[in-house]
Amino acid sequence: MVLNYKAFTLGIEEEYMVLDPETYELKSHDQKIVQEGQKSIKDKVKAEMHQAVVEVGTDICQDIDEAYKDVALLRKTISDIAEGLSFKLGASGTHPFSHWQSQLITDHQRYNEIIAELQEAARSNLIFGLHVHVGMESRELANHIANSTRYFLPHIFALSTNSPFWEGRLTGYKSFRTKVFDKFPRTGIPDAFESIEAYDNYVKMLIKTNCIDNAKKIWWDLRVHPFFNTVEFRICDIPMTVDETIAIAALFQAICARIYMLRSKNLNFIQYSRALINENKWRASRYGLDGRLIDFGKEEEVNTRALIYELLDFIDPVLNHLGSRHRVEYVHRILEQGTGADRQLAVYEATNNLKEVARYISDSFLAIL
């Protein structure tokens, strides 16, 4: 049996913060960056609910190197446009000190409906994430892979942690972004679904009973996309740099391919309950790489870095097939130098100044570390 690894295409969405170049506060750009960006990159740049946020999305990329080029070009293009309009950009899961109450909301029907329903939970949702879409041969395969990859979500989330501050306070978390987003309904680790039909029936029930008007209002940490043949991974903070984003995207792609390889041999990775996986998600949010996750097979705590090294061993058989080994290697750099959260905290410890933290975030936006 010849396995089709080319099916695992990639699409990457990043959310950036728009900053005042003098104060490094969040600043509304009144969609000027989006309007200018659409002249050259069309719908690859979009407005978000808050006017201090810009979202970009790649094309469908055939491999991780194509994704790298696309993300790097998007960051450079949007950064140049922002500079031309007297703004700066940064990539962090939360802003270190700006308050959501002072941020303007984009006037758009969808956002107005969300705020009307969710009220302060929506208005305060001033956070910045990374979404990685991995292409699938079928929705049936997508459901199978989504079920099996849930276990690994906290491991990769730990590598992305990049939001230790919230509204001028040191939160004690490596990712406080997830705590902010927890106020939304239909978030967090999803349950496993026994079939794609079971998932579709769940969505139909929510629509029929007016819980949602479409499946895009299911904001889980991963989901079978309602309109595309992809599994969408949504758990991660926006990483500070392009290299981190690409390494994390390569991990998600490789885990999908490894589960696919196991399935071809009539094997499967053991599935654990949402309740158990949530314990690891909380630990990853609180401690990042410096904590301990639960190895459910051994029923014991294990150093988070050690589990990530085990993950790297697990995906090794598919890296050559995907052509992503050199991008996954960057995970070792993250393990050595720390995540965005670790680097933010180091700047704060050295300066005791949150403006310097925000400046560092902005200076790192196009950096190669």
Give me the mean pLDDT over the 270-298 stretch: 95
Spatial distance between the Cα atoms of 125 and 77, rounded to a whole number of angstroms: 26
Residue 201 within a domain: yes
User: Could you tell me the CATH number of the domain that includes residue 196?
Assistant: 3.30.590.20
Q: pLDDT at residue 121 above 70?
A: yes
Residue 368 within a domain: no
Residue 2 within a domain: no
Residue 103 within a domain: yes
The pLDDT tens digits of the residues spanning 43-53 come to 999 888 778 89
Give me the mean pLDDT over the 102-112 stretch: 78
Nearest to 34 by CA among 92, 106, 97, 128: 106
Spatial distance between the Cα atoms of 38 and 103, rounded to a whole number of angstroms: 23
Per-residue pLDDT at 1: 62
Q: How far is CA 266 from the centre of its chain?
A: 31
The pLDDT tens digits of the residues spanning 181-217 come to 999 899 999 999 999 999 999 999 999 999 999 898 9
Residue 369 within a domain: no
Give me the mean pLDDT over the 241-266 stretch: 97
Per-residue pLDDT at 340: 98
Alpha helices (H) along 119-215: 120-123, 139-149, 153-160, 177-181, 196-208
Q: List Cα–Cα distances, 281 to 19, 108, 159, 289, 357, in angstroms.
A: 30, 33, 12, 12, 25
The pLDDT tens digits of the residues spanning 219-243 come to 999 999 988 899 999 999 999 999 9
Residue 1 within a domain: no
Q: Average model confidence (pLDDT) for the chain?
A: 94
Per-residue pLDDT at 112: 82
Q: List Cα–Cα distances, 312 to 154, 178, 273, 358, in angstroms.
A: 14, 25, 23, 32
Q: pLDDT at residue 90 above 80?
A: yes
Per-residue pLDDT at 149: 97
Residue 66 domain boundaries: 7-363
Per-residue pLDDT at 315: 98
Per-residue pLDDT at 222: 97
- Residue with structure tokens 């031309």? 84
The pLDDT tens digits of the residues spanning 6-18 come to 999 999 999 999 9
Please state the domain count of the chain.
1
Per-residue pLDDT at 369: 62
Nearest to 20 by CA among 95, 99, 89: 89
Q: Which of 31-35, 160-164, 206-210, 244-248 has the lowest mean pLDDT?
A: 31-35
